[in-house]
Amino acid sequence: MTNFNPRMTVLAAACACVSTVASAQDATLSNPAISAVLDGYYQSAERPMAEREEGFGLGHTELALSASIDDLFYGKLTAVLETHGSETEVGLEEAFIQTLSMPAGFSVRAGRFLSDVGYLNNQHVHTDAFADRPAVYRAFLGSHYFDDGARLDYVAPTDLYWTMGVEAFKGESMRAEDEHGEREFDNIGVYTAYTKLGGDIGISSSWQLGLSYLRNENGRLTAHEAHDEDVVIEDSHDHSHSHSAMYTGENTYMADFVYKWAPKGNYKYQHLTLSGEYFQVSDFAPLAAHELADAHSVEHLPDDQTGWYVSSVYQFNPNWSAGLRYGRVDTQELHDDHFHEQSLKETEVSLAWHHSHFSTVRLQYTHQNGTNFDGIEDDNLITLQYVMTLGAHSAHQF
């Protein structure tokens, strides 16, 4: 991991995020940066759309390899191990190359990588201040959205940090559910565009605002059709314990903000982070009557699906931090010719002990209040988690 800079400004931190080479300059093909992140937990109950199960388990355990390929390219590979019951899943979260020296502030990334929409999505989950992503992320992005595709980024030569970019992805994990496996999906299903603006307020504070748009060509629901009993029904992707989005639509609009404060810019001993995001998902109902069996149509167009969260995390000394997060997600579930409204509210309190920058032990309380949400009743959860980093690891995002 790179040395911690207590006076990191928004501009410097964000530029490091865009280039993703903050720690790559010292890592070469003959001396790559190799790291592992161990994530283990105990959880008292399950929560909707989350990957952690009740009881003891392994969470988002990472194995990463990164290096500068030469003076023009940087590469990174991140494999993830997760357990669900008696099964262990191995997935490839990142496998990309990125340019290092394109002119005029441009850069290109290609392969498999985390989308840069929103605030949390481009960050690895082990850097979070809570055990799970907010409900809005679990509902609309499958916890965190990574995919196969390409990205073009641009950093403007302005006094404030200002970046913008576009992405194109395969979009398989963002496809709407296909109950009978008969639908033909677009091969390039997701397109995104985003911009982020940030700066400093004096010596102790910094901020960032972001706007994002995600176009999902395969996001509209397929109408339910009548089938004979001997037809085998299959799902195009299993939502259970997957990284697929549970609720999709053709258009997703996102807005995010983050504010950070540290006395005289020194983040080592004390700092405060305030953040929040808002999602609006539209155009998810099946197309008009010609897509519906027996010329039936949906009774009425439902309201947009929405979700948001606000979070406050305060590190009050070098070894202890506390977090409070509240969020809500409102979704629509299609039943025959009508939609059912669902709502989930979550209040989370987290207390974390950091012996060093490489080790965290977290105790979290979650109160979830669901209205007809996937059969989840109101419940209280306790999560005890450890996150440990071994080896050289990339600098964390702003």
pLDDT at 278: 98
Would you say residue 15 has pLDDT above 90? no
pLDDT per residue as tens digits for the range 211-262 = 999 999 999 887 655 444 333 333 333 444 457 899 999 999 999 999 999 9
Mean pLDDT (the chain) is 84
pLDDT at 26: 58
Per-residue tokens: 338: 């009508």
Instruction: Say if CB 153 and CB 208 are below 8 A apart.
Output: no
User: Over pLDDT 70: what percentage of the chain?
Assistant: 82
Per-residue tokens: 200: 């400093």
Read off the pLDDT of each residue in 18-31 and give the average, rounded to a whole number: 51
Q: In whole angstroms, give the CA distance from residue 329 to residue 303.
A: 13
Residue of 350, 274, 349, 352 lying closest to 318 (CA atoms): 352
Would you say residue 366 has pLDDT above 80? yes
Residue of 281, 290, 351 lying closest to 320 (CA atoms): 351
Query: For residues 173, 175, 177 and 180, what is the CA-based torsion angle, rounded to 10 degrees?
Result: -100
Strands 190-201, 161-169: pairing is: antiparallel
Local structure of 141: helix, strand or coil = coil
Q: At residue 284, what is the residue type?
A: F
pLDDT at 221: 85
Q: In whole angstroms, give the CA distance from residue 230 to residue 294.
A: 20
- Give the start-to-end residue ranges of the domains of the chain: 101-386
Q: In whole angstroms, give the CA distance from residue 267 to residue 125.
A: 21
Local structure of 11: helix, strand or coil = helix
Per-residue tokens: 51: 């990957």
Read off the pLDDT of each residue in 341-352 and give the average, rounded to a whole number: 95
pLDDT at 315: 95
Read off the pLDDT of each residue in 270-291 and give the average, rounded to a whole number: 84
CATH superfamily of 101-386: Porin (2.40.160.10)
pLDDT per residue as tens digits for the range 283-337 = 988 875 334 444 455 456 678 999 999 999 999 999 999 999 999 999 988 877 7
Q: At residue 77, what is the residue type?
A: L
Instruction: Say if CB 188 and CB 169 are below 8 A apart.
Output: yes
Q: At residue 335, what is the residue type?
A: H
Distances (CA, A) of 200 to 3, 16, 207, 263, 290: 21, 16, 6, 13, 54
Confidence of residue 36 (pLDDT cuts 50, 70, 90): very high
pLDDT at 224: 57
Confidence of residue 21 (pLDDT cuts 50, 70, 90): very low
Instruction: Provide the 8-state DSSP code for 291.
Output: G
Would you say residue 25 has pLDDT above 50? no
pLDDT per residue as tens digits for the range 110-135 = 999 999 999 999 999 999 999 999 99
pLDDT at 395: 66
Q: What is the pTM of this model?
A: 0.85
Instruction: Say if CB 25 and CB 74 are below 8 A apart.
Output: no
Q: In whole angstroms, give the CA distance from residue 120 to residue 319.
A: 23
CA 328 to chain centre: 16
Read off the pLDDT of each residue in 327-350 and give the average, rounded to a whole number: 89
Instruction: Provide the 8-state DSSP code for 319.
Output: T
The Cα diameter of the chain in Å comes to 70
372 Rama class: left (phi>0) / alpha (psi -120 to 50) / beta = left
Would you say residue 6 has pLDDT above 60? no
pLDDT at 117: 97
Read off the pLDDT of each residue in 263-271 and give the average, rounded to a whole number: 87
pLDDT per residue as tens digits for the range 152-205 = 999 999 999 999 999 999 999 999 887 777 788 889 999 999 999 999 999 999
pLDDT at 11: 39
Sign of CA dihedral 286, 291, 294, 299: positive
Q: Provide CB contacts within 8 A for 277, sequence distance 6+.
A: 118, 119, 120, 134, 136, 254, 255, 256, 257, 308, 309
Q: Which of the pair, 7 or 134, is modelled with greater confidence?
A: 134
